[in-house]
Amino acid sequence: MVAFAAVSLIVLSIDTLPGIANDPRLQWAVDQVVAGWLPILTVVLVASYLRGRRSLGADFGLALRPLDLAIGLLAGILLRFGAVGVAELVRVATGGPPVPFSQSAGSDLGWFLLTSVLAASIVTPVIEELYFRGLVLGALRNAVLGRAALAPGEVPSGASTARVRVAGVVAVLGSAVLFTAFHLEGLPTTSEGVSRLVILFLVGVVLGCLALLTRRLGPSIIAHAVFNVSVAVLALLTPAAPGLS
């Protein structure tokens, strides 16, 4: 976590360089690829090489089975409907105004497909699941169990059922908290911000449970991808507001 945060902060300073600060697309590339994907993937690979079996499958459960497609699809759809329900409940509870979905794909379809479909719905789910549900969740679980470099779902000899359950709960909740913090930009001050906080935590918990119960990342990757791509689908179906591209 410290290594990832340090690398990200250093790289984000690139945003202030002349030629990048005034170019939204170049800035997106720096933020997403250099400050996001690269540090995450680097930390995962280094951890696997130095402390694991040097296999993303053996260390973090990076595997996909046919059943995972069905599990992930169902979980992703339910999470999206749940997100809509949470947003509405928070809005009603706080008395905030309705926030209609107004995002559209814009006029540059190629850029939209690159950022919202390829990047957000294909690459990001794989990399983030490796980090949060693979490395972070596994590290927290191993820390509670008092063992390092355990394979996903592996239980050390002599560990009690209660301790294994506690380790699972701590790992799921801890990884969900870090997942939420990673996606927040400051503390929420509006009903929309509060609902985002709740939704992110809920998504983190569900994805963590999927990874823990199946002992692999296939279901959580598919669910994460479905959850993200649903926004892109809605954007494609929403006409752009007059004067906007």
Please check the confidence at residue 239 and state whether its pLDDT lies above 60. no
What CA–CA distance (Å, rounded) separates 12 from 28?
11
The fraction of the chain above a pLDDT of 90, given in percent, is: 50
Q: Which of 12-21, 22-31, 194-203, 205-214 comes out lowest in average pLDDT?
A: 12-21
Q: Quick: pLDDT tens for 145-175.
A: 988 778 888 888 878 889 999 999 999 999 9
More confident residue, 47 or 95: 47
- The answer to whether 79 and 227 are in contact (CB under 8 A) is yes
* CA 33 vs CA 90, 119, 188: distances in Å: 33, 9, 25
Q: Quick: pLDDT tens for 6-54.
A: 776 776 677 667 767 677 788 788 778 877 898 899 999 999 999 899 9
59: Cα within 13 Å, side-chain hemisphere: 21
Average pLDDT over residues 129-134: 97
Q: How confident is the model at residue 193 (pLDDT cuts 50, 70, 90)?
A: confident
Which residue bears the tokens 């979905």?
101
Please check the confidence at residue 59 and state whether its pLDDT lies above 80. yes
What CA–CA distance (Å, rounded) separates 173 from 201?
8
Distance, C-alpha 43 to centroid of its chain: 16
* CA 146 vs CA 73, 119, 143, 155, 187: distances in Å: 34, 37, 5, 11, 34
Tokens, residue 101: 């979905």
Angle in degrees, CA 225, 83, 191, rounded to 5: 130
